[in-house]
């Protein structure tokens, strides 16, 4: 048995004293918590489920996210990557789910998630048959696109989120305070404490937000003291149109998961991703999403926020991230804990995440440079970015108007999916000898 040591936070394996590991785990959960529950609120609103059902789904989703993270960290058979990947409810599915629940009903959405998750799970288990499609230049291009796609998310949070107060001076002040604290803590702190800069920024920013009246503390106990997950609150219905829609989105999500996992191994472990890790990561994504559907919740997938946090801090220890997963489960079982986590205002999150999201993009660029900028790789990355980012920019998405609505819903606003598809196609069709 190895000696428990705080410095083991930089190692994938190794013992870390529990209460010394806990702050790093909490930091990971706070970085993604609000983004984990927001998709549920949006989809539940589209389905008109009501406040009580929405609250129940939020509690269920926190427990499922914690369990899925534990499976990624400590695999069950071939399900799980054995990597420090944090799982949560993804925004990738929101648009399609809102359409499905509106047209076919929430029960049909649950059935479609159940089937789609199983499809992605088996896609992961058989990764050895298609792994060669994801070459280093394809992976690095997708990682860079993920970082790019998140830049506006960080700024949106910094300015106050999606509401009428966006850009309000109070939001900008609180966001700036949080950002400055993160930077100062990173400069002043020494050793492992330096990697708690995001947590320090979140705490100080939260206090500043309370001073500016942005936090409603009175609502912390409004959801009761304890909540038990409800199994099959909505009976699955199997509609072929809803299933085809969700299976397609699951394939898009799989591309993002490959990019997230590749970025995590490159930035956190300093090496390329292994076939076994891609296989386990996707299998966990899929089967955990099917499990999520049995508790009435949307799909879960890897969170890019946490990949950015790892790129920034280099904290990759599985035991340390496990403490965060346990906190997520506790937040699901005890609503007051979840309410405290969920009360983090957007500007506080934005002050921290704008650094993290930029780190992902820089990591992708670094991966591209390691792949080599020969003529073939340059064409693959350049054309993928030009089409993927250019055609999904808000001012240019009208270029999709002549295509079926189904295609528009999937690709028009998703630059990562388009970049991935273009990169894979180019990697297949461009001759290997073109640099000779």
Residues 373-408 have pLDDT tens digits of 899 999 999 999 999 999 989 888 889 989 887 788
Averaged pLDDT, 156-162: 87
6-10 contacts, C-beta under 8 A, 24 or more apart? 6/192, 7/191, 7/192, 8/317, 8/319, 9/192, 9/195, 9/315, 9/316, 9/317, 9/320, 10/314, 10/315, 10/316, 10/317
User: For the chain, how many structural domains are there in total?
Assistant: 2
Please state the rounded mean pLDDT for residues 187-198. Answer: 90
CA atoms of 345 and 339, how far apart (whole Å): 12
Are residues 277 and 408 both part of a single domain?
Answer: no
Residues 55, 136, single domain; the answer is yes
pLDDT given for residue 410 in this prediction = 74
Domain boundary among 340, 372, 404: 372
Closest CA to 121 of 290, 268, 238, 307: 290
Same domain, 273 and 318: yes
- The residue from 372, 393, 421 where one domain ends is 372
| Percent of the residues in the chain that have a pLDDT greater than 90, as a whole number | 54
Mean pLDDT of 304-312: 87
Q: Distance between CA 281 and CA 275 in Å, rounded?
A: 10
Q: Average pLDDT over the chain, rounded to whole?
A: 90
Interval 95-114 mean pLDDT: 90
What's the pLDDT band for 17 if we cut at 50, 70, 90? very high
338 and 432 together in one domain: no
Determine the structural domain holding residue 429 and report its residue range: 373-436
In a domain, 79, yes or no: yes
3-state secondary structure of 291: helix
Q: Which of 353, 372, 391 is the last residue of a domain?
A: 372
What is residue 435's predicted lDDT score, i.e. its pLDDT? 66
Q: Output the CA–CA distances (angstroms, integers) from residue 413 to 139, 307, 407, 408, in the order listed.
A: 20, 22, 11, 8
Evaluate if residue 2 carries a pLDDT over 70: no
Task: Assess whether pLDDT exceeds 80 at residue 34.
Answer: no
Regarding predicted confidence, which is higher, 303 or 218? 303
For residues 332 and 388, membership in a common domain is answered with no
Beta bridge partners of 76: 79
Query: Does position 99 have pLDDT exceeding 60, yes or no?
Result: yes
Mean pLDDT, range 86-105, rounded to an integer: 86
């Amino acid at each position: 048995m190895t000696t428990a040591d705080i410095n083991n936070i930089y190692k994938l394996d190794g013992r870390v004293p529990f209460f010394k590991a806990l702050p790093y785990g909490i930091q990971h959960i706070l970085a993604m918590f609000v983004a984990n529950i927001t998709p549920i609120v949006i989809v539940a609103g589209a389905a008109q489920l009501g406040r009580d059902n929405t609250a129940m789904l939020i509690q269920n989703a926190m427990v499922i996210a914690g369990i899925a993270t534990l499976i990624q960290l400590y695999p069950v058979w071939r399900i799980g990557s054995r990597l420090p990947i944090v799982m949560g409810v993804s925004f990738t599915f929101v648009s399609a789910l809102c359409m499905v629940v509106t047209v076919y009903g929430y029960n049909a959405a649950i059935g479609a998630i159940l089937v789609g998750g199983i499809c992605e799970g088996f896609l992961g288990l058989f990764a050895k048959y298609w792994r060669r499609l994801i070459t280093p230049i394809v992976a690095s291009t997708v990682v860079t696109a993920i970082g790019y796609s998140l830049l506006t998310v960080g700024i949106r949070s910094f300015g106050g989120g999606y509401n009428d107060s966006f850009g309000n001076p109070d939001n900008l002040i609180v966001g700036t305070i949080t950002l400055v604290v993160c930077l100062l803590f990173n400069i002043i702190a020494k050793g492992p404490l330096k990697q708690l800069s995001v947590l320090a920024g979140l705490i100080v920013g939260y206090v500043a937000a309370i001073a500016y009246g942005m936090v409603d503390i009175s609502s912390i106990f409004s959801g009761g003291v304890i909540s038990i997950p409800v199994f099959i609150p909505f009976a699955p219905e199997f509609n072929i149109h809803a299933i085809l829609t969700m299976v397609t989105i699951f394939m898009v999500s799989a591309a993002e998961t490959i990019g997230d996992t590749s970025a995590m191994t490159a930035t956190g472990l300093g090496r390329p991703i292994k076939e076994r890790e891609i296989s386990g990561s996707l299998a966990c994504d899929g089967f955990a999403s099917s499990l999520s559907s049995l508790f009435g919740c949307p799909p879960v997938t890897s969170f890019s926020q946490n990949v950015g946090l790892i790129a920034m801090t280099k904290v990759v220890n599985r035991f340390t991230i496990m403490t965060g997963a346990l906190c997520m489960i506790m937040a699901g079982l005890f609503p007051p804990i979840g309410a405290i986590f969920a009360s983090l205002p957007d500007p506080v999150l934005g002050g921290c995440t704008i650094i993290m999201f930029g780190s992902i993009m820089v990591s992708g660029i670094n991966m591209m440079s390691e792949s080599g900028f020969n003529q073939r790789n340059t064409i693959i990355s350049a054309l993928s970015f030009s089409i993927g980012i250019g055609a999904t920019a808000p001012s240019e998405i009208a270029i999709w108007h002549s295509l079926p609505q189904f295609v528009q819903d999937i690709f028009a606003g998703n630059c990562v999916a388009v970049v991935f598809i273009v990169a894979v196609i180019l990697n297949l069709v461009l001759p290997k000898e073109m640099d000779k």
